[in-house]
Amino acid sequence: MMPAVDVEAVQNFATAVLIGALVGIERERHKREHDDQTIGGLRTFILFSLIGALGGWLTLALDSTWILAAVLLAALAPVLAGYVLSARHEPDALGLTTELAAIATTLLGALVMLGYRELAVGLGVGVAAVLAYKQPLHGLVRKLDREDVYAGLRLLIATFIVLPLLPDEAVDPWDALEPRSLWMLVLLISSLSLVGYVATRVLGAHRGIPLTGLTGGLVSSTAVTLAFSRQSRETAYQAAAPALASGILLAWCVMFVRVIIEVLVVNRALLPSVLAPFATMAVVAAVAAWVLRGRARDGGSTEGVPLRNPFSLTAAIKFAVFFAAVLLLVKLVQTYAPASGVYAVAALAGTTDVDAITLSMARYAQAGDAAVAVNAITIAAVTNTLIKAGMVATLGSAAMRVPVLLAAAAVVAGGLAALLLT
């Protein structure tokens, strides 16, 4: 017996129509712009989605999966016919994009009726985006070199092959080192760095010092500080010293925001305590960068920071070892020494890296003293900021040195004041 058409079924059919229209509008625009003779336009894709929706509805109504299979095969026939006709008309412009989009739209229409409406809508938006952003996607591929592809494959290997093989229980007498959790945190840091690297490759490091500072800060604020400090001494960049100083401070700002994100991911309960000092330091750095940017004489183009793809298995293993050492040291100090010992470890770790101590203390706060954890993370960030300020004082030009050191003092004072007041 056929079920009555209810409101939910009508909503599902309407959703299928909208998915078909979304993809169809993009294909219609593509046909007009390129005088394309492919099969699909707005009406065609709406019908493809409706065919899939009808197949899904009949499958549920008659409790037979063969109906959906038959409907999909029926939709595939005109797709193949259209491809053959297009190949005969334009043999030098063969492509399967529109045909595959038609098959995907049919399946999405069926998916709506089978009870996965939200998923179908999300995938429909994704299909339309892939079709619409053809040029940017092709441009991104052209900017990737072989090392970038290898790095992406290594990240996938580290995530989907290495991670499941690691034990999820502590392997040391102090219950400090859980290999799977440790590796997940390494992947978190690598992913954050990869975001900055990809943004730099897509947008270009030559588009200005602020952009380089922001995206480079996700990869390594130390690398940005070092590169800009050296550039400030070159004759070609002497006039751009305020802009270079602004880029350095923007990279520092990103580092402070990055710490907030890491704490949010690892231990959300600690976020309110961390937010005050690190948001203060980020705001102070951003304001100082904005003031210095206003003093720049020009747009301040730069040769860019020499950033490499941040992910490699060797680098990940090195960071994991360093992170494990910090975790173990923190655990030992927690067991056998007072809180001041943890602060000493934080200051020492902050001379080279803030991520490791941030992640270790965020985990420490899950069972330990949250105030000690926040103090330790802040100490590490302050130490790291002072180290980078020392780089500017040593390597930077006089025009850069004064404003950056003043800004560093304001950043440190603001962070410590916020920490003491909370």
List, for residues 143-186, the tens digit of each pLDDT value: 777 777 777 788 888 888 888 999 888 787 877 678 888 788 77
pLDDT at site 85 = 67
Residue 139 lies in a domain: no
Q: Note whether residue 138 is domain-resident.
A: no
Q: Is the pLDDT of residue 6 over 60?
A: yes
Domain containing 349 equals: 144-421
Indicate whether 84 and 104 sit together in one domain.
yes
Query: Residue for token digits 């290898």?
Result: 150
Q: Is the dihedral of CA 281, 285, 286, 290 positive or negative?
A: positive
Residue 1 lies in a domain: no
**The most confident of 1-10, 363-372, 399-408, by mean pLDDT:** 399-408
Residues 364 and 298 in one domain: yes
Nearest to 105 by CA among 85, 86, 84, 121: 121
**Would you say 246 and 210 are in contact if contact means Cβ atoms under 8 Å apart?**
yes
Distance of CA 418 to the CA centre of its chain: 29
The mean-pLDDT minimum among 28-32, 36-40, 53-57, 133-137 falls in: 36-40
Asked whether the predicted pLDDT for residue 298 surpasses 50, the reply is: no
DSSP at 38: -
Count of domains for the chain = 2
Q: Is the same domain home to 159 and 264?
A: yes
**127 and 148 co-located in one domain:** no
Examine the domain organization and report whether 88 and 229 are in the same domain.
Answer: no
Q: 179 with 124, same domain? A: no
Q: Which of 269-283, 284-298, 375-389 is predicted with the least confidence, judged by mean pLDDT?
A: 284-298
pLDDT at 168: 84
> Are 190 and 155 within 8 A, CB to CB?
yes
Same-domain status, 203 and 349: yes
CA distance 247 to 249: 5
Asked if residue 326 belongs to a domain, the reply is yes
Select from 124, 76, 71 the least CA-distant residue to 116. Answer: 124
- Segment 368-381, tens digit of pLDDT: 789 999 999 999 99
Identify whether residues 117 and 245 lie together within a single domain: no
Claim to verify: residue 297 and residue 373 sit in the same structural domain:
yes
> Is the backbone of residue 304 left (phi > 0), alpha (psi -120 to 50) or beta?
left
- Of the three residues 98, 132, 166, the one that is the final residue of a domain is 132
Range 209-247 burial, b when 16+ CB lie within 10 A, else e: bbbbbbbbbbbbbbbbbbbbbebbeeeebeebbbbbbbb
Domain boundary among 82, 109, 132: 132
For residue 137, is it within any domain?
no
Nearest residue to 390 (alpha-carbon basis) of 219, 222, 216, 214 = 222
Residue 125 and residue 177 in one domain: no
340 occurs within a structural domain: yes
Report pLDDT for 93: 55
Give the CA angle between residues 80, 86, 92 to the nearest 5°.
Answer: 125
Does a structural domain hold residue 2? Answer: no
Verify that 192 and 301 share a domain, yes or no. yes
**Same-domain status, 78 and 163:** no
Distance CA 164, CA 122 (A): 28
Composition of the chain by helix, strand, coil, percent to 5: 85, 0, 15
The DSSP secondary structure of 304-352, one letter per residue, reads ---PPPS--HHHHHHHHHHHHHHHHHHHHHHHHS-HHHHHHHHHHHHTT
What is the b/e burial string over 305-342, where b = at least 16 CB atoms within 10 angstroms of the residue's CB?
bebebbbbeebbeebbebbbebbebbbebbeeeeeebb
Whether 39 is in a domain gets the answer yes
Q: Is 177:170 a contact under the CB 8 Å cutoff?
A: yes
